Homo-oligomer: A and B are copies of this chain.
Amino acid sequence: MARVFSAQRLTDFAAAILHAEGVPQTDAATIAGLMVEADLLGGDGHGLFRLPRYCERLRAGGCNATPDIRIDKERGAMAVVDGDNGFGHLVMKFCADEAVKRARTHGIGWVGAHHSNHAGAAGVYAMIPLAHDMIGLYVAVGSANHMAPWGGLEALLSTNPIAVALPATGRQPVLLDMATTVAAYGKVKLAAQRGETMPPDWMIDADGNPLTDPLRAAEGLLMPIGGPKGYGLSLIFGLLAGTLNGAAFGRDVIDYNTDDDSVSNTGQFIVAIDIASFTDLDHFKAEIARIGDEMTGSALRPGFDAIRMPGERALSVRDERLARGIPVPDAVVAKLDDMARACGVPPLQEGNA
């Protein structure tokens, strides 16, 4: 069961809680807005659902409520940002704005961060440059290691996601938002809830054998897409988003889900690509739409209901949720309202949807 709330209501609610927890009002509104953007895109496990965990780490000192986010290094098209252990959402918004600004002058803006934190849904940040007629690209070091290097058994890598967004005319933007593992942890948890068995390519156990019982997921490792290829992508994304920015990678990555008070030193980067520097903007956006039609209109494989462009589902969920509201499971509402009461914010259940 779920209750439906408007995006605005959820944003105001999250902002009020964050502010009650010591986050300055403007920052709280920014973080809440980006959090609810994840819910709008259907990434329910990356949005409001995370608020209790964010606040736990905030209270335990694992995250800084009043960071001094600033440029640490810069040179023309690039910058490295010190997130001062603030919310990842805030740090990545800073980076995205900075990347857009640099792309306007240099054609490309590439802005990375160290001492950032979990920022929610990757796609949200890749979408920011679109409003400026730019392509957005976002890569992050995941907030817990769940994958071994190919041929190994130690969890030294995360699902390290990539998101890329490109604008189109007369069609939804293209929005790829993917982890480098076959299945995300959310899908594993869902299988557990439903009492289902996992396909043998999702996880291996501590001995390296396929793990198909999702109730045993905690002792398992996620498998990369394409074997050594997904391992290679996760590694490279980690080196570029983490190591290059002076952020944590490999054994230095803490488990954000169980560790309350360690500084995560999360690394991410955003690239903004100014389309008009490369080609005619209108032509490009029309081409993306034409290619979208070409792909989705091509011959269908038996057993499939449609060919989709990346992000097609998420962006139509967004339209629907903007129009009709966001369903929040009762258990999540209850947990959020417990938090609200504890910090003196009017609970969701008592307010208007």
A residues sitting closer than 8 Å to B (CB atoms) are: 73-78, 80, 105-108, 110, 112, 135, 148-154, 156, 164, 166, 174, 176, 178-179, 182, 204, 207-208, 225-226, 228-233, 235-236, 239-240, 243-246, 249-251, 273-275, 277-279, 284, 287-288, 291, 294-296, 298-310
Contact = CB atoms under 8 A, between A and B. Distances in A.
Contacts of A226: 178, 182, 225-226, 230
B240 A229 contact: no
24 contacts: A73-B278, A75-B277, A76-B76, A76-B106, A77-B77, A77-B107, A78-B273, A78-B277, A80-B278, A106-B106, A106-B108, A108-B108, A151-B301, A152-B301, A153-B298, A166-B239, A174-B235, A178-B229, A179-B229, A204-B301, A225-B225, A232-B310, A243-B287, A244-B275
Given A182-B226, A208-B301, A310-B235, A107 B75 contact: yes
What 8 A-B pairs have minimum CB-CB distances, sorted nearest first?
Answer: A225-B226, A76-B106, A78-B107, A151-B304, A77-B77, A75-B107, A208-B301, A154-B298
A29 B116 CA distance: 48
A75 B106 contact: yes
Contact of A152 (B182, B275, B277, B298): B298
Contacts of A233: 176, 178
A75 B275 CA distance: 11
A107 B309 CA distance: 33
Contacts of A75: 106-107, 274, 277
* Copy total for this chain: 2
B235 A108 contact: no
Given A148-B298, A151-B308, A235-B295, 15 more contacts: A74-B107, A75-B107, A76-B107, A78-B277, A112-B278, A149-B295, A151-B301, A154-B299, A174-B235, A176-B235, A225-B230, A239-B288, A239-B291, A243-B291, A244-B284
A167 to B, nearest CB: 11
A277 B153 CA distance: 35
Contacts of A239: 166, 174, 288, 291
A100 to B, nearest CB: 14
A279 to B, nearest CB: 6
Contact of A236 (B112, B164, B208, B250): B164
Interface centre among A182, A277, A296 (most CB of B within 10 A): A277
Contacts of A309: 235
Nearest to A176: B232
A202 B240 CA distance: 30
A309 B148 CA distance: 12
A300 to B, nearest CB: 6
Contact of A105 (B76, B246, B279): B76
Nearest to A251: B294
Contacts of A307: 149-152
Contacts of A301: 148, 151-153, 204, 208
Contacts of A76: 76-77, 105-108
Contacts of A78: 106-108, 273-274, 277-278
Nearest to A208: B301
B112 A300 contact: no
A297 to B, nearest CB: 10
A208 B243 CA distance: 42
